[in-house]
Structure 1
Amino acid sequence: MRHFGSLLSRACTRRRLALHFHPDHTSTPARSFSSTLPTHKAKAKGTTSPFRSGQSEDKINYNQEIFFDERPDPEYVNYARVNANDLEGNKEPPRRVKMLVRDFIEDSLYNPHYGYFPKQATIFTPTETTIDFNSLKDEAHFQDEVARRYATYGKDRDGPGRQIWHTPTELFKPYYGQAMAQCIVSEYLLKYFPYEDLVIYEIGAGNGTLALDILDYLRDQYPEVYERTHYNIVEISGRLAHMQREKLQPTHPCIKVTHKSIFHWNKREPAPCFFVAMEVVDNFAHDMIRYDYRTLEPYQGLITIDDNGEFGMYYTRVTDPLISSFLALRRRLGHPPPLPALLRSSTLRSLYTNLPFAPNLSVPEYIPTRLLSLLRTLRTHFPRHRLLLSDFSSLPDTIPGVNAPVVQTRFQNTTIPCSTLFVRQGYFDIFFPTHFGRLREMYEHVLEQPDVLAGSPTGADSGRALPLATSASALSSGKNFFSSYQPRNRRLPVDGVASASGLPVGERKSSVFTHAEFLETYADLSKTQLCNGENPLLDYYQNVKFLF
C-alpha cells in the first residue's frame, strides 16, 4: 500500500469525462452521449497501482481525460451482465462485467469478501465509561474529549487508514438509545399494552449498542414491558452479526440475530411491531439516471469493468423493473425530474441542445431504488409495523450530481472526500442524503397499496390469533358507518384489525422531525447538558432528521 496516497489524491480530484449510450445487446446504431466539462489534464504515467502489483499504469479510479468523446472498451457489449447477488461468492473484485450502479454500490459496500462494511469499517466504540457531559465546560471541551477517545485507536501507517466513523448512538450512549426506547415504549403503552407483546425489528444494528441501550432501559424502567419484549436484529454482515450475538444474548435472551439482508426477507410478521432503521438507509444503493434533453426520456446508467479493472460508464433506455417502478411512483406523486426551471420548456430545451458543446443528457441523478425495496418489504412482510427511521437529510462534499453521495475514505488519520464514484471496491464509504419529505410521501403511498400476499393480517397465517384482531367482517366494509370523513393524517384501516378504540380508525400517518425536535420530545436532556448550558445532543447532527 506504499502508493495509496498518490492513488487517493488522483481518485479525489479526477473523474471520467466521456459517458456513452449504447443499446445493450440490440442492433440499433449507438448514440453517443457526452458530458460537457472540458479538461486538459492527462493521466499520470508510470504509477504503480497499490491494488494490482506489476502494472505500469494505475487504472483503478480514472481514465485519460480529453475533450472529445472517449468510448469504453468496444468489448463491453460482450461483458457478462451481473448483479450484486451474483458477485457474493467472488473473492476479488470482478473483471469483464457490467452492472447497474446500484449493484456496483452494493458490491462495493457489502460483498462478504472485500466489501467496505464486512472488511474495512470500524464503528467508533469507546471502551471507557460513558462521557460525563455534566462535567464538561463547553462544546470545545466535549470535542477534545471525543478526540482523546479517538486517539486510543492509534495512528494510521501505510495504506488506507482504519475506516472509523461514529454515530450518535455511540457518541451519546446510553442516553441516545434511551430516547429511542422512550419513543417506542410510549407508543406501545398507548396502543398495545397489555394485549400484545412488544416486538422490535432493527436493521443494521452495528455493534449492537442501540439494542443494548434500549433493552437496558426497558429492563430498568419498564420491567413489565421488558418481560414481553422480543428484539429481532436483521444484519447483513456476518462479522457484525457474530459480534451482536456475543455482546447481547448473554444479557438479554430476548434478542434474536438473523444474518440476512433485509432485501431477502421472506417471513411475514403479523403482529404489531416497531421497525428501527438508524443511520442505515444512507448506505442503501442508488441507481443513476440521466434525461435526454430533447425528449426527457430517462436512461439508466451501467458501469463496466474491463480486464485491467478499469471502469467505464454507458447508458441504455430504462429496462430495469425497479428503476421503472420508482420513476412511475415519482410521476404518480408529482415529483418532477430534476431539471433547471428554464429547461422545462421544450422550446428552450431545443435551443439549448443546439448550442455548441451543449450536453444532450442531463446531469446524473441518483435515485433511491433500494429504499423503495425496503418500503415494499415493510408493506408486504410487516403489515402492522411502525417505522422509526433516522438519517442524513443533507451532506457536504458530495460528488457531482443530483442527490449525489459522499464517497470518502480515511488516510493518515484524515477523512478524505472524493469527487467520483469510480473507486476501488471495499476501500471507500459511499453514503447518500435522504429527502425526507419525498420519503414520507413514498412511504405512505406504498402502504396504501393492496397486500400482495395471500392470507389475512389477523394472524391466521402464523398459527395464532392476535388479541387486537377480529374475526368479524372487514372493518373497511363499514368504515363509513360513523362518518364519511377520513382524516388526512390517518391511514385507511387494515381489514380485520380493530383499533384500540374498536372503531375503524386507521393508524396515524408518519411525520418528519428534525434531530433536535425529536430528542427534545423523548430524551432526558439533563444528562447531556454541559456546564455552560450547551447541549451537544441537540446541537450536533443538525443535518439529520427522523421519520416516525
Structure 2
Amino acid sequence: MNHLGTLVSRLPIRRRCLPSNSPTFALNRLARTFSSTPFASKAGKPQKDRFNYNPEIFFDEAPDPEHAAYTRVTSNDLERHTKPPTRVKMLVRDFIEDSLYNPHYGYFPQQATIFTSAGDPIDFRAMRDSVEFQNEVARRYSAYGTDEEGPGRQIWHTPTELFKPYYGQAIAQCLVSEYLLKYFPYEDLVIYEIGAGNGTLAMDILDFIRSAYPEVYERTHYNIVEISGRLAKLQEELLVPRHGCVSISHKSIFHWDRPEPAPCFFLAMEVIDNFAHDMIRYDYRSLEPYQALITVNASGDYGIYYTRVTDPLIASFLNLRRRLGHAPPLPSILKSPSVRSIYNHLPFAPNLSTPEYIPTRMLSLLRTLRNHFPRHRLLLSDFSSLPDAIPGVNAPVVQARVRGSAVACSTLFVRPGLFDIFFPTQFSRLRDMYEHVLAQPSADDDRLPIAPSPLASSASPLSIGAGFFSSFQPQNRRTPADGVASASGLPVGERKSNVFTHAVFMETYADLESTCLRNGENPLVDYYKNVKFLF
C-alpha cells in the first residue's frame, strides 16, 4: 500500500507514512522537551541518587524555589499574550489549550489548514478501484505544494471534505430521520455544530435537507459555535448568502452562556480529539493521584512536577470515574498493601505510575450540554484509537507537517502553535460519563425552564408520580423530564445513546451507491476503521 493509502486507512485525517529520508531533525530543532532534573530538596539542591525515583519530577513537599515562585496561569489568562509565556506554570490542559487555540500563536488560528479540493467532488462511480481513488486524492492534495524548510502549512483533511457531499448527506439523513420521528410538525429542527471547519459539513447538510425535505428546511435553524475567528469568517462567507437559517457565534463552547430550552441536535464531528486533557500519575506507595503542572522558565524551557490533586475539574473527573466503576490504569495486584510494600522495595521500581491523560475538557462539554441544552440529542464522531502516540495511557499524537510529511514527536512539551495535539476517545467510557452527567440535576435548573412539548397536557404526568402509567422504566431510556411528553403522550424519557463503528453508521444512513467504486469497493465504509460515532 502506498503512503496515501496508509493515511486513509490507518489515521485518515492527519497522518502519512514517514519516508526513509524524513526530516525528523528539522522537527527536533523546534521541539523543546521538558527538563529531566532530579528530585529537588527544599534548599533547591538535588538529592542523592536512590533506587526508586522518577528523575523528571518533584513533589509539592519539596518544590524548586524558583518554580514555586512562578505565576500560575490558565489558558484564559494567556489569550492576551502575543507570544508564548515564560516564568509561568500551568496545568497540562491549559498548556494544550494555549498551544492549540491561542488567538495570536495557536495552532488552529494561525497554522492549520483544512484540505479542500478544488473543482467538482470526486466521482466515485467512475473510479476503477481504491488505488485509483487514492491516487486522485493524492493529486488533489499535491496542489498545496511542499514547504522546503521547517514546519509549513499544517494541512489535514476530514471525511467531510474527502467524501463530500455524501458524508454530510448521511449526517443530515440521520438528523432528519430522528426529527421526523419525534418532533415534526410540532417543533422546529434546531441544529448546533461546534468546530465547523470550513463550513462544508453545514453546507452539505442544509443543501440535502432543502432538496430532499423542503418542508423540514422551512423550519430549520443551524447554529455554529466556532472558536477560530478566521474560520468563523470563512463559514459566514460560504453559508449565510446561501442559507439564511445559519447563525454563527464566534466563541468557545466552554464559554457558552445562552440557554436553549427547545429540543435540538448537537453535532461534534472530528472535534473532541483536540479537547485538552490533564495528566495524572499515581503514587505506587499510597495509590494517591497526583496532577501534573508544566513550568516554563525564563529561557522558554519546560519542566514538569506533580502535586496532590487540588484542581476541581480533575477531582470531579476522578470522582465520577469512581462512581462509574471505571478502574484507573493500575496493576490489580498492587491493590494489596503487602504487595505494594514488596514492590516499593524492589531496586529501580518506579514510584509513580505511567502518565495518564484524562479528558477533563470533555467533562466540561457534557456539563455545558446538561446545563444549557437540556433537550439536546448529541451526535459525535472521532478517533477511537491512534498510532504513533507519545508514551502514556490514552496519550495523544503530537505531530507537525515538515516538507510535506507528517512527523510525530515523542513528547507533549513542544513549541506552542506549530504542532497538532490530538487524542483518542474511549467511547464506552464516554457513553457512561455522558448518560451519568445528563441524569444529574442541572446547576441552572432554577433559571432555565424547559420548553414544554405541544403534546403535553396542562398537568404534568410526572407531577402525579413517575410511575402513574407504569412502574417499569426501560433501561435504554433516560428518566423523563417533567412537563415533556413523548410522541405517544407518555413520559417514557429520551432514548439513551449508543456507540457505532464508522462502517455501521454509514451503512445505516449513507447513500452507498454513490460512493461505490467500479470493482465493488466502497471507501466511505472501508476506511476510517479507527473512528466511531456516539448517537
Per the TM superposition, whether the score is higher than 0.5 is yes
CA distance in 2, matches of 1:19, 1:209: 50
SS in 1 for 2:169: helix
Match 2:466 to one of 479, 482, 490:
479
| Aligned-partner Cα distance in 2 for 1:126–1:22 | 57
For residues 283 and 351 of structure 2, the distance between their equivalents in structure 1, rounded to whole angstroms, comes to: 6
Deviations along 1:485-544, one digit per CA (max 9) or x if unpaired, are 111000000011111111011010000000000000000000111111011001111000
Question: In 2, are the aligned partners of 1:201 and 1:273 still within 8 Å (CA)?
Answer: yes
| Corresponding position: 1:513 with 2:495 | no
> Normalised by the size of structure 2, how large is the TM-score?
0.90
Q: Could you tell me which residue of structure 2 aligns to residue 265 of structure 1?
A: 256
Note if 1:467 corresponds to 2:459: no
Tell me if the contact between 1:33 and 1:361 (Cα under 8 Å) persists in the aligned partners.
Answer: no
1:202 Cα deviation from its structure 2 partner: 0.1
CA-CA distance at 1:475 after TM superposition? 2.0
1:149 to 2:140 alignment: yes
Cα distance 1:417–1:443, how it changes in 2: closer, same or farther (>3 A)?
Answer: same
Aligned pairs for 1:338-487 (under 5 A) are: 338-453=329-444, 454-455=446-447, 457-459=449-451, 467-468=454-455, 470-473=457-460, 475=462, 477-487=464-474
Aligned counterpart, 1:227: 218
CA contact (8 A) 2:173 2:509 kept: yes
Q: Alignment partner for residue 9 of structure 1, among 17, 21, 28? A: 28
Q: Give the C-alpha shift of residue 102 in structure 1.
A: 0.2
> Which residue, out of 109, 113, 116, partners 1:122?
113
State whether structure 2 residue 297 is matched by structure 1 residue 278: no
Within 5 A, what are the aligned runs for 1:320-335? 320-335=311-326
2:14 alignment partner in structure 1: none
Cα distance change of structure 1 residues 106 and 32 upon mapping to structure 2, 3 Å threshold: farther
Q: CA deviation at 1:5?
A: 5.8
C-alpha deviation, 1:347, in angstroms: 2.2
Deviation, structure 1 residue 356: 1.4
CA displacement at 1:342 relative to structure 2: 3.0
CA distance in 1, matches of 2:474, 2:40: 47
SS in 2 for 1:86: helix
- Which amino acid is 2:207 matched to? D
Aligned to 1:165: 156
1-structure distance, mates of 2:111, 2:500? 32
Aligned partners of 2:463, 2:253: CA distance in 1, in Å?
30
Please give the secondary structure, in 1, of the residue aligned with 2:495: coil
Distance 1:129 1:339 in 2: 52
Give the stretch that moved more between structures: 193-202 or 136-145.
136-145
- The 3-state SS of whatever aligns with 1:85 is helix
CA distance in 2, matches of 1:497, 1:67: 55
Cα deviation for residue 474 of structure 1 reads 5.5
Query: Residue 33 of structure 1 contacts residue 359 of structure 1 at CA under 8 Å; is this kept in 2?
Result: no
**Does the aligned pair in 1 maintain the 2:99–2:417 contact within 8 Å?**
yes
State the 1:478 CA deviation.
2.5
C-alpha distance in 1, partners of 2:48/2:179?
Answer: 57
The 1:85/1:31 distance shift into structure 2, 3 A limit, reads farther
Letter in 1 for 2:75: A
Task: Supply the distance in 2 between the matched residues of 1:138 and 1:35 (Cα, whole angstroms).
Answer: 58
1:134-179 Cα shifts (integer Å, max 9, x gaps):
1111111111011000000111122212100010000000000000
State the 1:74 CA deviation: 3.9
Change (3 A) 1:546 1:165: same
| Corresponding residue SS for 2:437 | helix
Task: Give how far 1:427 is off.
Answer: 0.3
What amino acid maps onto 1:505 in structure 2?
A: V
Asked if the contact 1:22/1:314 (under 8 Å) is kept, the reply is no
For structure 2, the 5+ residue unaligned runs are 1-22
Matched to 2:427, the amino acid is F
CA contact (8 A) 1:34 1:361 kept: no
Mind listing any 5+ residue stretches in structure 1 that lack a counterpart? 39-65, 460-464
- Larger RCO, structures 1/2 (Cα 8 Å, 6+ apart): 2
SS of corresponding position for 1:232: strand
The residue number in structure 2 matching 1:504 is 491
Distance 1:37 1:130 in 2: 56
Which amino acid in 2 is paired with 1:389? L
The residue type equivalent to 2:325 in the other structure is G
Residue 9 of structure 2 is matched in structure 1 by none
Query: Does structure 1 residue 77 correspond to structure 2 residue 64?
Result: no
Note if contact 1:490-1:505 (Cα within 8 Å) is conserved in structure 2. yes
User: Which of 100, 109, 115 is equivalent to 1:109?
Assistant: 100
Secondary structure in 2 aligned to 1:366? strand
Q: Is the 8 A contact 2:38 2:56 kept in 1?
A: no
SS of match in other structure, 2:223: strand
State the distance in 2 between where 1:476 and 1:22 align: 62
CA–CA separation in structure 2 for the residues paired with 1:34 and 1:240: 52
CA distance in 1, matches of 2:346, 2:39: 20
Amino acid at match of 1:486: Q
For 2:91 and 2:316, locate their aligned partners in 1 and report how far apart those are by CA, in whole Å. Answer: 15
Aligned equivalents of 1:169 and 1:35: distance in 2? 52
Give TM-score, length-normalised by structure 1: 0.88
Q: 1:134 aligns with which of 112, 115, 125?
A: 125
Alignment of 1:161-310 (within 5 A): 161-310=152-301
The RMSD of aligned alpha carbons is: 2.6
Aligned pair partner of 2:481 in 491, 494, 498: 494
Q: State how far apart, in whole Å, the 2-side matches of 1:168 and 1:363 are.
A: 33
Q: Aligned pair count?
A: 509
Q: 1:30 to 1:121 in 2, by over 3 A?
A: same
Whole-angstrom distance in 1 between the partners of 2:123 and 2:198: 22
Q: Using the alignment, how far apart are the partners of 1:467 and 1:136 within structure 2? A: 50
Question: Cα 1:225–1:195, aligned 2, differ >3 Å: closer, same or farther?
Answer: same
| Aligned partner letter, 1:9 | N
The letter for the 2-side match of 1:525 is L
Label 1:225 to 1:34 Cα distance change in 2 as closer, same or farther (>3 A): farther
Give secondary structure in 2 for the equivalent of 1:225. helix
User: In the TM superposition, what whole-angstrom CA distance separates every residue of 1:84-136 from its partner, at most 9, and x where no partner exists?
Assistant: 00000100000000000000000000000000000000001101210001111
**Is the alpha carbon distance of 1:375 and 1:32 closer, same or farther for their aligned partners in structure 2, counting shifts above 3 Å?**
farther
Contact 2:92-2:293 at 8 Å conserved across structures:
yes
Identity among equivalent positions (%) equals 70
d(CA) in 2 for partners of 1:242 and 1:136? 35
Paired with 2:178 and 2:293, the residues of 1 have a C-alpha distance of 44
1:473 deviates by 3.2
For 1:298 and 1:30, locate their aligned partners in 2 and report how far apart those are by CA, in whole Å.
24
Q: 1:424 to 1:456 in 2, by over 3 A?
A: closer
